[in-house]
Amino acid sequence: MKKGEVLKLGIVPYMEGKEIQLKAFERVKKGETDGILILLQHPPVYTIGVSGGFDENILVPLEELKKKAELYKVERGGKITFHGPGQIVAYPIFNLAKWQKDVHLFVYKLEETIIKLLEEYGIKAGRKPKYTGVWVGDEKICAIGIAVRRWITWHGIAFNVNTDLSYFGLINACGITEFGVTSMQKLGINEDIEKVKEKMVDKFSEVFGIHFNEITLDRLAVIDNAKA
């Protein structure tokens, strides 16, 4: 059983969340823990991954999009997606050398974590050929976009609990035009997001074989702005 840490936060601005990831990355790189799982939400923000597709995947004038939410280009894989309240963003900062140096297997396990989580709520979810993420029918409920440096992962997954899905109507989420997005709420499940977080931690532990001790931001030596 691997030994890890979990950091549960509230709504954190995107760039502050990135700073927290980098601090966690350094802690994992130093060998102080096998992995750190960060769970939070972001204020409305669109992020564009290294696969780009900037022009064709934004469906409204850029200035209109920026009035709705912040916009950042980021280091993860994939194209444009949305983060906002009601969506659990999970950043697993894991040292894959402690598991297997296999990025495809890591992504598979991320998907498996969410599939097992949804089983707890009676929702049958799965994978879709040619696409990453977790799907319920033809609608994506969880997007995945990661980055890996020195076999340590960062960025992660975005799981829709009770997200305002109208934000996705302004973009081709993940560059996909033929399929839509969904959430637990849209599927008829109204659950407190903090309870979903707890179940998600349990499923990460089960799938990755890791025991988590809960930590605070003080452990990462960053200012706690999550409660501001």
Annotated binding site for substrate: 76-83, 143-145, 156-158
Residue 201: C-alpha distances to residues 63, 66, 110, 155, 171 (Å): 38, 33, 12, 16, 30
- For residue 37, what is the enclosing H or E element? strand 35-41
- Which tokens is 111 given? 């998907």
Catalytic pick from 69, 110, 152, 174?
Answer: 174
Rg over alpha carbons for the chain, rounded to the nearest Å, is 16
Output the known binding site: 76-83, 143-145, 156-158
Q: Phi/psi of residue 189, each to 5°?
A: -105, 115
Please say if 142 is a catalytic residue: no
Classify residue 154 as exposed, middle or buried by CB count within 10 Å of its CB (0-12, 13-18, 19+): buried
| Active-site annotation, residues | 174
